[in-house]
Amino acid sequence: MSTLRPDGRPRIPPNQVVTQKFPVMTAGTPKTADKETWSLTLDGDVEQAITLDWAGFQALPQREFSADLHCVTRWSKLGTLWRGVAVSVLADLVRPVADPVYVQARADGNYTANLRLVDMLSDKAFVATEFDGKPLSVEHGGPARLVVPDLYLWKSAKWLRGLHFSPYDYKGFWEKLGYHNYGDPWKEQRYRG
């Protein structure tokens, strides 16, 4: 296993401990894990806002992803395997207009996470529906969750229900409580300093 990422940074950020487990850390609760009632709304500063139901989302181009995950609580899980839709595919559906610089991920339980659009379109960010070859469990955010592996895991909203494209940086759930606005694990951006 390589100790460096393709961008030259170490695979394990400073002061992280690798685990084989996949700990469950949660803020909020899902309204439902029922795929029959699940939907994903893509809106904000876009040419055409849309809401996808489960069948509509599943009809989009799916692919497998491998990602290293890094939690603000200092654990890392390497080489996780996912399946889902790249956020860039979703952005192409709604075509952001003008200069939306940010995306607010909206999830059940009034959970939100603020992200930069450039990170969401990096082709590393995706909405996952499977983990390790199986449907994503409720405890890990199923039926669909955001995964943004280059940022601390609190940015990867579980029970995802929407992506709102905006020129404004609306603070997310944890950012309002003192967490760092960006959350780069390699810079140890855990809390506002």
CATH number of 36-187: 3.90.420.10
* Rounded alpha-carbon distances, angstroms, from residue 66 to 1, 83, 106, 161, 169: 13, 9, 24, 23, 28
Overall average pLDDT of the 136-140 stretch: 91
Q: Where are the chain's structural domains?
A: 36-187
% of the chain at pLDDT higher than 90: 79
pLDDT tens digits for range 84-115: 999 999 999 999 997 779 999 999 989 999 99
Say which residue the tokens 């070859």 belong to: 133
pLDDT tens digits for range 48-81: 999 999 999 999 999 999 999 999 999 999 999 9
